[in-house]
C-alpha cells in the first residue's frame, strides 16, 4: 500500500532541514497534489512518507521532484 492521508502517524520530523530518499505518488492530500516524500522520522527513526503539503517545497518542485534531482521511489 502506498502513502495515504489516512495512514496513522508513526513519527514526526523535528529538524528544519530533513533529508528525503525519494518521492512517489499516493492519495490526494490537503496540498491538492499526490506527491509524497520518503524519509526517516526524528523521534523513533521510523521510515515513512510525508505529504508534500507538510513541507516547504514549491508547487513546481512537488509537480516534478525528479527534475530537481530527487529520484522516484
- pLDDT for position 1: 46
pTM given for the model: 0.81
Q: Where are the domains of the chain?
A: 22-68
- pLDDT for position 7: 60
Task: Look at the block and give the residue holding cell 521510515.
Answer: 47
- DSSP lists the bridge partners of residue 73 as none
- pLDDT for position 4: 59
Sign of the Cα torsion 20, 22, 26, 31 reads positive
Beta-sheet strands, E only, within the chain: 22-25, 35-40, 47-51
Nearest to 71 by CA among 38, 27, 42: 38
pLDDT tens-digit profile, the chain (73 residues): 456 555 666 666 766 777 889 999 999 998 999 999 998 776 777 788 889 998 889 999 999 999 999 999 9
Amino acid at each position: 500500500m502506498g502513502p495515504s492521508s489516512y495512514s496513522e502517524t508513526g513519527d514526526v520530523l523535528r529538524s528544519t532541514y530533513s533529508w528525503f530518499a525519494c518521492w512517489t505518488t499516493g492519495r490526494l492530500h490537503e496540498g491538492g497534489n499526490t506527491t509524497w516524500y520518503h524519509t526517516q522520522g526524528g523521534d523513533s527513526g521510523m521510515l515513512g512518507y510525508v505529504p508534500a503539503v507538510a513541507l516547504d517545497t514549491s508547487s513546481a518542485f512537488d509537480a516534478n521532484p525528479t527534475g530537481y534531482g530527487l529520484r522516484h521511489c
